[in-house]
Amino acid sequence: MGLIGGLATLLFGTGRNVVRETAEVFRENAEAGADRDAALRGAVLDQFAAEFAGPRPGLFDRMIDGLNRLPRPMLALGTLGLFIAAMVDPIWFAARMQGIALVPEPLWWLLGAIISFYFGARHQAKGQAFQQSIADTMARAPQVTGNIRALQALETGAQDRLLSGPNPALDDWRAAK
């Protein structure tokens, strides 16, 4: 019994559990982890309660808080709207995108800086080739105008073909009637 008792004392100690303590070096004690999580959740709830315990903000503050929540959903829904517009009427969408092609690159930088600033990100605009980008944009203006005219011609031509002109399938259907 002395050898087994000594081994048990070595493993479990006198009132201590050496195996458990050794295992906890490699794996978290689930019960202690649950206690820590419960304490953390309690502290978070206490912080939230303290944050909202003061007097209710006025109408102006509530309106400004509401406005501050709008840009992200508006950007996301606007982007989805662009995808839908591209699928519903591709020619209309392409004509609008031709107009966006005329926006000078510095204005894109400015828009990016404003959006980055609003969402808290840092943005550093490049100062190089400012005049070159304006010249490149202006040089594309005749091409964009031609593209818009071509798209409009496609749109009116497609409508004319649908409404008039030879249509073998429609002729066969009429003949069958």
101-137: pLDDT as tens digits: 899 999 999 988 888 777 665 545 455 556 677 778 7
CA 30 to chain centre: 36
CA 149 to chain centre: 34
CA 104 to CA 128: how far, in whole Å? 14
* Model confidence band, residue 51 (pLDDT cutoffs 50, 70, 90): confident
Cα of first residue to Cα of last residue in the chain, in angstroms, is 108
Give the DSSP letter string of 78-133: HHHHHHHHHHH-HHHHHHHHHHHTTS-HHHHHHHHHHHHHHTT-------TTHHHH
> Do 65 and 58 touch, CB atoms closer than 8 A?
no
Q: Which of 157, 153, 143 is nearest to 98 (CA)?
A: 143
31-49: pLDDT as tens digits: 888 999 999 999 998 888 8
The single-letter code of the amino acid at 55 is P
